[in-house]
Amino acid sequence: YYVWVRARSKNATGGAISVNVAGQTSKSLGCITNTAWTWYSLDACSGQAIAYTNLSAQEQTLSILATNSNIEIDKILLSTNNT
């Protein structure tokens, strides 16, 4: 599954969002400075779409953590499509 987060910065100060699914390795959506709502899906380190594979068909835990109080999150989407 690919992770998409619609977020913005309240005051154009940079921030990031840490994403984790099912206890797998956390990934970071970085450089969130836009004050308009924007969809983010690329890992700050690799530049690749954030994806979690090998999830079983059962209840999973999704963890989202903003790095500072300037980040606002509007929507979260898990999709099998990365575009």
State the pLDDT confidence band at 65, using cuts at 50, 70 and 90.
very high
The per-residue pLDDT for range 66-82, each reduced to its tens digit, is: 999 999 999 999 998 88
Instruction: Return all residues near 80 (Cβ < 8 A) that are at least 6 apart.
Output: 1, 2
Q: Please, are residues 73 and 8 in contact by the beta-carbon 8 Å criterion? A: no
Q: What is the mean pLDDT of residues 41-56?
A: 90
Q: Which of 19, 23, 10, 16 is nearest to 67 (CA)?
A: 16
Residue 55's pLDDT is 84
CA separation for the pair 82, 61 (Å, rounded): 20
The per-residue pLDDT for range 11-46, each reduced to its tens digit, is: 998 899 999 998 899 999 998 999 999 999 999 889
Which pairing describes strands 2-9 and 17-21: parallel, antiparallel, or unpaired?
A: unpaired
